[in-house]
Structure 1
Amino acid sequence: MKSSKKILIIAPFAFGYTAHIQKALQQFQTVDVQILYLDQPAFSYKNTLHKAQNFFSKLIFGKNLKKTFVTDRIKASLIQLGQQDEIFIIRPDMLSDDLLQFIKSSTQKFIAYYYDSTRRFPRKVDIIPLFDTIYSYDRLDVSTYDLSFLTNYIFEESNHAEYDYQFFNISTNDYRFPLLENLAKYLKEHTWSYHIQVYNGSEMPANHVEIITTQKSIQEVSNLIQKAKIIVEIQRTEQIGLSFRIFEALGHRKKLITTNKDIVNYDFYNPQNILVVDEHAIEIPADFVTSEYVEIDAAILSKYKIENWVKPIFELQ
């Protein structure tokens, strides 16, 4: 009997988005898959003295106990799990070169996935030579550094035609906040219903959007998406890859408004489903809001689903 291919995923928890890769791989009988999270279990100080110890350790020796904790945990886990056939890592730029070399020594094939651009995290450029294959969702990075192109994925599907509000967006508080405030004002002026939430660690003033102080889980966001007719996505200016919000819209059969101009180059693009807007001069035609969602060809949609997304990466049938 053929032995299983041993695959290890190392990734941020990322609200649970990365857990779907492991779930998809578990459906293949020829795969033995484990996952290590970069940020879970999280580091915590034992007491005030431990916190002070870390302060002086960074000040005097340049050594951060938080980073040491992650390094030691990953090394111990790798030793326990043993040699792997393939290790697939997301956000390797969060780790030191020494730790990445240690991880590489634990596998026959070392693969990375960049779901953020090198413009956002420049260290990703420096570590390219460490990997056998690097996938990136950013076309510019793919062409600049000769990487392999790979989008994000659809991990959940539904088909709810009814909706509680017309527009939905959830974001963290960053430079996009005033853009979302302007968008909400625009929607209000057109008497369109919306549910726009901005996460901040504490209360802050807002005129048109709702400020939330607790982060939503991936399932909570999914429930909110299903109640909307149109999903709004404000793309980060330093990258052109398609965010998970776009694939959530695809999976839940929702119309989409996005500032990502590159989306028109994808095979699922349909102007009745997807509207590209200028974030500084938003204009939304009324007929886009009132018209219905057009189903995408099943063959096109299928290749973005997580169960098919993993096949070429890990050479599975």
Structure 2
Amino acid sequence: MSRILIIMHNYAGISDLIKRNLKDLHYDNVDFMLYSEEKFRYKNLGEKLTNLYRKIFLGDKKYKEKLRASFIENTLLQKARNLPEYDTILMMTTEFFSDEFISVIRTKTKKLIGNHWDGLKRTPSVYPKLKFFDKFFVFDPDDVDEQKNIFFLTNFFFTFDETNDSAKIENDVFYIGTYVEERFKALKKISETLSLKKISQKILLFNWDKREKDGEIVFTNDFLTYDENIKWVKSSKALLDLKLKEHNGLSFRFFEALKYEKKIITDNPHVKNYDFYRKENIFIIGEDSERELNNFIETSYFEIPLEIKNKYNFESWFKTLTS
């Protein structure tokens, strides 16, 4: 069996979920290298005192962050140089890794594959790094350029074993996201529409700063774990999805809805181009009539054939990257 290394940022603990799913599928040949695994340490007392001086007397609160970034880069480079050779190396969250680091990684495998979970227009720093990869997969069809080895691959849903307890429905609509100014206005408008139509909702927005509840929108500075998120998904009839203007790719939310057979309300009309789209399950804001929203929530979910559904599971995604 070929030896594989996955390099990524462990944002929101997603690498732990990938490990969990690989274990469930009996992959025992996969290693991980994570961005910022080690806790930051000052090189010496002088560096620590310099930071203290700059912070107190110069008001420079960013100096420590520069030291931390340098520490992470040096740690990663040292690890990269000491790596054995792998049959395949997969890199996610490429924007976090320097050209120098990727060039060292390039020497450790004959097959370096990238997978990007964001629009390339939102992360332009990735463009110069593409030259290192044999194949680079993106989730936004608009970013695809097969002449430059940029290929299309959607996000996915995890398939590891979970408790099969049937959750009691507590809300009609569930949304969780990070506070983004442009999305907040749209979210507030949708939330007000749901309230007017007596459609119950659970809306959580992550924001570093403490902020009071705004209508039905609750702000939090605590990350929800995957299990907490899925608990709310299971106990809701529909999920809400709001896209960013910089890309048209489908978020992980669509695939959670597909797995748990939940309806979805979205402002991304590009979902109509996918084979799992059914008007009964997916309400498109701005295209479908608001008058039909209550009926949409209350009618039964249209079951998607298993052969279509399985195209979007973790195993299919992983096999595409490693084949």
Q: Give me the TM-score of the superposition, normalised by structure 2.
A: 0.85
Q: Is the 8 A contact 2:118 2:139 kept in 1?
A: yes
The alignment of Structure 1 onto Structure 2 pairs a total of residues equal to 308
Shift of residue 68, structure 1, vs aligned partner: 2.0
Whole-Å separation in 1 of the counterparts to 2:290 and 2:254: 18
Question: Is 1:232–2:240 an aligned residue pair?
Answer: yes
Q: 1:39/1:248 Cα in 2 relative to 1: closer, same or farther (>3 Å)?
A: farther
Query: What's the offset of the Cα at 1:93?
Result: 2.1
RMSD of Structure 2 on Structure 1 (CA):
3.0
- 1:43-66: CA deviations, max 9, x gaps? 46699636348989x99x9x9322
Aligned-residue identity in percent: 27
| Counterpart-to-counterpart distance in 2, 1:106 and 1:283 | 58
Q: Which residue of 2 aligns with 1:114?
A: 116
Q: Which secondary structure does the structure 1 equivalent of 2:173 belong to?
A: strand
| Bigger mean CA deviation after superposition, 17-26 or 266-275 | 17-26
* Unaligned 5+ runs, structure 1: none
Correspondences of 1:85-234 after superposition (within 5 Å)? 85-143=87-145, 147-156=150-159, 160=166, 162-175=168-181, 176-205=183-212, 206-234=214-242
- Distance change (3 Å), C-alpha of 1:128 and 1:76: same
Aligned pair in 2 of structure 1 residues 153, 18: CA closer, same or farther (>3 Å)?
A: farther
Q: Secondary structure at the match of 1:36?
A: strand
Distance 1:295 1:133 in 2: 34
Shift of the 292–159 alpha-carbon distance from structure 1 to 2, 3 Å rule, reads farther
Contact 2:167 2:235 in 1 (8 A): no
Matches for 1:1-317 after TM superposition, within 5 Å: 4-26=1-23, 32-41=29-38, 43=40, 49=49, 51-52=51-52, 64-143=66-145, 147-156=150-159, 160=166, 162-175=168-181, 176-205=183-212, 206-278=214-286, 285-315=293-323
**Structure 1 residues 27, 230: CA separation in 2 closer, same or farther (over 3 Å shift)?**
closer
Cα distance, 1:38 vs. partner?
Answer: 1.4
- Taking a change above 3 Å as real, the CA distance of residues 226 and 86 of structure 1, as seen in their structure-2 partners, is same
Higher helix share: 2
Mark the CA change 1:28 to 1:204 in structure 2 (over 3 Å): closer, same or farther.
Answer: closer
Query: TM-score, with normalisation over the residues of structure 1?
Result: 0.87
The answer to whether the 8 Å contact 1:111/1:133 transfers is: yes
Distance apart, 1:10 and its partner CA: 0.7
2:194 partner amino acid: L
